[in-house]
Amino acid sequence: MRYAGITERLADLGGEKWAVHNAAREKMARGEAIIELTIGEPDVPVDPALIEVCHQSMLRGRTHYSNGRGEVGLLNALVEKYRPRHPGITTDNILCFPGTQTALYAVITALVDAGEGVLVGDPYYATYAGVIQAPGAVLQPVPLNIENGFVMQPADLRAAVTPQSRVLLLNTPHNPTGALLDADTIAELGQIAIEHDLWIVCDEVYEDLIFEGIFASPLEFAELRARTIVVSSISKTFAATGFRSGWAVGPAEFCTKLLPISETILFGNQPFIADMTEAALRGTFDTAERMCRSYAARVGMITDELATCPSLKAGKASGGMFVMIDVEGTGLDGEAFAWRLLEEQGVAVMPGASFGDNTRDLIRVALTKPDETLREAMRRIHAFASALATKSKAAAM
Ligand SMILES: Cc1ncc(COP(=O)(O)O)c(C=O)c1O
């Protein structure tokens, strides 16, 4: 049978990237004790008060169709959230979506046609390639290097722009590297976007998970607002990944153009989840603060544990849920390191190649495991890398 081209464009995005993770899951299903550091689900529960809001809302009958833009109460809560960064914001600047992921899909669909380019830092969050390739656009990688703390360098962006480029897709704090963009860098990258008439799409889903530094958004820059779209959600801040509740914030005209796309895909979101999201945004919950505290401590522990292993170099993570480790010094690339680590030490990590071409010599570890489990994983990674170094020294003699 014949299928549309999108099935081909997205066909190779699913399996390969997750091969180590899937193999780890199979081992676990067979009863093997694996320390799984591949994916990053928040390791704290959703606040029970928010579940109660959702429940009560359903009991009140908030179980019918919504509209394509979002429930008024939630839109107003979002206006208040973003007003400090965007003083003129109104509900015309916002559309609600079931999560950042759908928002990204709809936003990129609204901005690029087949053959046009989306500039993205490489490494990038695993689903970006699919979001860009779905409409037939081209992912234009901008290298993010460990020496620069994985922060996008304006010179690298300039080198990557082509006449086909339409969008600069930013992510701060960044998955997989944990890099945070400061205001000066955003201003410089924004200037390049102005020069080349690019849209800026900024994925801010980890906004509240910052251990070091101050969050900055392109939305704060008046001169960038006409070309900036921010996407985010309650997934990370409120540890509410399964609720699927997010939004896009952008120019009113853009939102008007986005609305029919949103309605075509979704026909509206769930009112009871909108009520819960509104309560989350208006309330005072310490979920993100607690995650931040433990992730910051775990970043410190990882750095300390690996400091005595010359063949490993932990990247600097300022936020998010992950740390990248450069394993080039072991003589293995990230993929080979991850497979052997799983087989020989029972620790599952993501190969850097799952996130682009620029991090083939790195692995990514999630910070979302209990302290002692993560420490044990670091000891095993240290032991594995040290044994590799001893073997290669012996072979060289
Ligand atoms: C950078 C990034 N963007 C978007 C998402 C998806 O977020 P959501 O649950 O809001 O769809 C994730 C999830 O891990 C992510 O890491």
**In the chain, domain spans:** 5-45+287-396, 48-282
SS3 (DSSP) at 86: coil
Tens digits of residue pLDDT in 236-259: 999 999 999 999 999 999 999 999
**By alpha-carbon position, which residue is closest to atom 7 of ligand 1?**
100
- Global confidence as pTM: 0.96
5-45+287-396, superfamily in CATH? Aspartate Aminotransferase, domain 1 (3.90.1150.10)
For the chain, the C-alpha Rg in angstroms (whole number) is 21
Tens digits of residue pLDDT in 14-36: 678 899 999 999 999 999 999 99
CA–centroid distance, 101 to ligand 1, in Å, is 6
Answer yes or no: is pLDDT of 395 > 70: no
**Ligand 1 atom, smallest distance to 98 CA:** 11
The stretch 260-282 carries a mean pLDDT of 96
Residue 171 Cβ contacting ligand 1 at under 6 Å: yes
Q: Does the domain spanning 48-282 belong to CATH 2.60.260.40?
A: no
pLDDT the model gives residue 397: 61
Pairing state of beta strands 228-233 and 246-249? antiparallel
The stretch 193-216 carries a mean pLDDT of 97
Q: State how far the Cα of 229 lies from the Cα of 357, in Å rounded to an integer.
A: 26
Tens digits of residue pLDDT in 319-355: 999 999 999 999 999 999 999 999 999 999 999 999 9
CA–centroid distance, 125 to ligand 1, in Å, is 8
Contact 197, 210 (CB under 8 A): no
**By alpha-carbon position, which residue is closest to atom 16 of ligand 1?**
175
Ligand 1 pocket: which of 100, 124, 229 to mutate (most atoms <8 Å of CB)?
100
Cα dist. 12→45, 210, 349 in Å?
A: 33, 33, 20
Tens digits of residue pLDDT in 123-160: 999 999 999 999 999 999 999 999 999 999 999 999 99
Q: What angle do CA 263, 265, 271 make, to 5 degrees?
A: 60
pLDDT the model gives residue 394: 62
Residue 127 Cβ contacting ligand 1 at under 6 Å: no
Q: State how far the Cα of 293 lies from the Cα of 213, in Å rounded to an integer.
A: 14
pLDDT the model gives residue 113: 98
